[in-house]
Amino acid sequence: MPHRQDCDAQWHNILRNKIHLTQKPQCANFTATLMKNILLAFALLTTADVALSQNINLRINEIVTKNSTIAMDDFFEFDDWIEIYNPPGSPITNLAGYYLSDNPDSLTKWQIPADDAGITTVLPNNFIILWIDNDYDNLTSQGPAHNAGFTLNSDGEMILLTAPDGTTIIDSTSFPEMATDISWGRSCDGCAQWQYFNNVTFEDNNFETQANELLFVNEVQPLNTSTYRDLQGEYDPWIEIYNPNNHQVNLANYRISIDGQTAWQIPNTRPARTVLPAQSFMLIWCDNDLADDVNHSPLSLPAAGGVIQMTSPDGTITTDTYTYPSVAVNVSWGRATDGASNSIEFGTPTPTVTNQLVVIQPENIVINELLSANQTGIIDNMGELEDWFEIYNPNSYAIDLSGYYCSDDPEVRNKWVIPSTFPDSVTVPANGWLLFWADSDQQQGVRHADFRLSNNGEYLSIASPDGYTLADEIQWNYIAPDTSFGRLTDGANDWVLFVVSTPETSNNQGTISVLENNSTTVFAYPNPADEIINFSSAICATVNDACGQVIATINNQRYFEMSTLKSGIYVIRTSDAKTLRIIKH
């Protein structure tokens, strides 16, 4: 008896070439698929490879933007995808001629090709997968189910399905921040309500299920005053959860209680925080700051010791029970090895990393500059405008960054490891700079990180090869597009905004900006200067020396005479309380 894939291949040949059904294919389960394929073959014969009508019932049904293990395309690639659902009672529809876009101002961004109706036709009460991978019409075209022109942003964006007329929006949705191998889909096929799915249903009916996984309470710190900070910069008590499995586990919906307190259920609203990769760790903060993030709990962690219980998402099965004693300030109590039955005291706590951590001190390197919204600046090796950050080496010798870690998450310092495959490409020269692209395109080279930067405020760190010990970290608020955030001078403590960025060159000659209340940018040039410094618009301001003393005033002028000033740094305070640092040679 032929294999099922042989049967499918025969049917695909029938459908693609519109062969009349004059002979029954020699395959198993023929009767189970006969009617479906007859209908589809008939549809292909009558639609003539193009969409003849607009099926307004079509629905975007499920979305995956970080596909690691869910499903591979025909080219063995794990790419982003969306699922289109054709509800019962709707016509058989060939999607050729329809449009997909991630921009409401450009509805015709990508038109589904009419190359192969056998791939682009969907029956009533059935699904079709479209790969949003930018792999159509390239040098090795992957077919009409593969989109060209855009990929999906895991930070969240809009996706729109438009009819062949290019103006009628059939369906659209805005999806939130996504996590690896978690989908965003309708709670039931075609329903109005959307939700995250742990149980991703690739080309199948949407439903959710969540198993009770093996997990451990791995380490506890009731009195944290200087060990580890959360994103808000606060030192709070924490519990560390360890996932020993060879697959990821979403901690959403699991419940935690301490000494019989009312159990707290981990929210299911942000899997980007609650998904725990294989053999990794996550902190639960016991600080009652629920607005901070989904891993901040209302639980109280008694300093005198207590019993922590973790239960399954439905609250019926105990996942782990862990007892800890009283420990001193900034000391933790944890399992001797990750997941072990015996526990010990840790004078050097190990939150978010293995309890067997071997500390490796980093070289003296710093994050020197970053650009979080690159619209018109430099391009990467693929000709793309991407976010970037710059590492500066103030030493008299070169430093190989192979094995160092970079992250945009203060609670996951080992998010991305700098590859060691081409050490020359990741070596910072003595007294020099090295640029990394924060574009989530690791396949584009060893200096392409697996995360992006946000200009609405974020965090960036670089840690030693132990994945924990920091070399440097920086956090910022809003940064305007094409404005970089960097140290006033290379390696200095003070950070400023540069309206003209200085990638892989010294910050010392950068043009520093000040952001006005009306969101326009005023900048000074040249800066540093010898005699006269100019402003991009007239300002009213005071000029202050390094001690804060007012030494001059500027009254609605576009320049300031500096020739009589001593060399050094001066601060200009504008009438609307903004500041601008200028340097006199």
329 and 239 co-located in one domain? yes
Residue 454 falls inside a structural domain: yes
Q: Identify the domain boundary among 307, 326, 346.
A: 346
Residue 232 falls inside a structural domain: yes
Q: Identify the domain boundary among 465, 492, 519.
A: 492
Residue 364 falls inside a structural domain: yes
Q: State residue 21's pLDDT score.
A: 36
Average pLDDT, the chain: 86
pLDDT at 109 over 50: yes
Instruction: Mention every residue, 6+ apart, whose C-beta is less than 8 A from residue 440.
Output: 154, 448, 449, 450, 451, 452
- pLDDT tens for 125-138 read 999 999 988 776 65
For residues 580 and 497, what is the distance between their CA atoms, to the nearest angstrom? 9
For residues 176 and 179, what is the distance between their CA atoms, to the nearest angstrom? 10
Task: Give the range among 23-27, 208-212, 460-464, 519-523 with minimum mean pLDDT.
Answer: 23-27
Q: Phi then psi for 484, rounded to 5 degrees?
A: -95, 160
pLDDT band at residue 22 under the 50/70/90 scheme: very low
pLDDT band at residue 54 under the 50/70/90 scheme: confident
- pLDDT tens for 301-321 read 999 999 999 999 988 999 999
264 and 314 co-located in one domain? yes
- pLDDT tens for 316-369 read 999 999 999 999 999 999 999 999 999 999 999 999 999 999 999 999 999 999
Instruction: Mention every residue, 6+ apart, whose C-beta is less than 8 A from residue 17.
Output: none
User: Between residues 539 and 88, which one has the greater pLDDT?
Assistant: 88
CA-based angle 415:421:426, to the nearest 5? 70
pLDDT at 7 over 90: no
Residue 545 falls inside a structural domain: yes
453 and 524 co-located in one domain? no
Sign of CA dihedral 419, 422, 426, 430: positive
Q: How many domains does the chain have?
A: 5
Q: In this structure, what CATH number is given to the domain that contains residue 383?
A: 2.60.40.1260
Q: In this structure, what CATH number is given to the domain that contains residue 155?
A: 2.60.40
Q: Which of 152, 184, 161, 172 is nearest to 63 (CA)?
A: 184
pLDDT band at residue 53 under the 50/70/90 scheme: low
- pLDDT tens for 139-193 read 456 778 888 778 888 888 999 999 999 999 999 999 999 999 999 999 999 999 9
In the predicted model, what is the mean pLDDT of residues 215-219?
A: 98
317 and 414 co-located in one domain? no
For residues 18 and 513, what is the distance between their CA atoms, to the nearest angstrom? 65
pLDDT band at residue 577 under the 50/70/90 scheme: low
Pairing of strands 183-186, 169-175: unpaired
Is the CB of residue 332 less than 8 Å from the CB of residue 221?
yes
DSSP characters for 276-297? E-TTEEEEEEESS-TTT-TTEE
For residues 487 and 287, what is the distance between their CA atoms, to the nearest angstrom? 33
Q: How far is CA 476 from CA 371, 530, 578, in A?
A: 11, 31, 17
321 and 439 co-located in one domain? no
529 and 560 co-located in one domain? yes
For residues 241 and 216, what is the distance between their CA atoms, to the nearest angstrom? 6
Q: Outline where DSSP puts E strands in 1-79.
A: 59-64
Q: State residue 37's pLDDT score.
A: 52
CA dihedral 206, 281, 234, 269 (to 10 degrees): 0
Report the DSSP beta bridge partners of residue 99: 111, 162
Residue 241 falls inside a structural domain: yes
Q: Identify the domain boundary among 346, 370, 402.
A: 346
Write out the residue range of the structural domain in which residue 20 sits: 4-47
162 and 233 co-located in one domain? no
User: Between residues 458 and 403, which one has the greater pLDDT?
Assistant: 403
For residues 87 and 230, what is the distance between their CA atoms, to the nearest angstrom? 46
Instruction: Mention every residue, 6+ apart, whose C-beta is less than 8 A from residue 550.
Output: 542, 543, 544
Q: Is the pTM of this model over 0.95?
A: no
Place of tokens 């500096």: 562
Is the CB of residue 99 less than 8 Å from the CB of residue 109?
yes
474 and 524 co-located in one domain? no
30 and 71 co-located in one domain? no
Share of the chain above pLDDT 90, in %: 59
Residue 363 falls inside a structural domain: yes
Q: State residue 23's pLDDT score.
A: 37
DSSP characters for 81-116? EEEEEE-TTSPPEE-TT-EEES-TT-TTSEEPPSS-
Q: State residue 128's pLDDT score.
A: 95
Is the CB of residue 371 less than 8 Å from the CB of residue 484?
yes
378 and 336 co-located in one domain? no
184 and 74 co-located in one domain? yes
Q: Which of 161, 158, 136 is nearest to 149 (CA)?
A: 136
Copy the structure tokens of residue 569.
Answer: 């740094």
| Residue 47 identity (one-letter amino acid) | T
Q: How many CB atoms lie within 10 A of CB 61?
A: 27
pLDDT at 420 over 90: yes
Residue 375 falls inside a structural domain: yes
Residue 121 falls inside a structural domain: yes
178 and 302 co-located in one domain? no
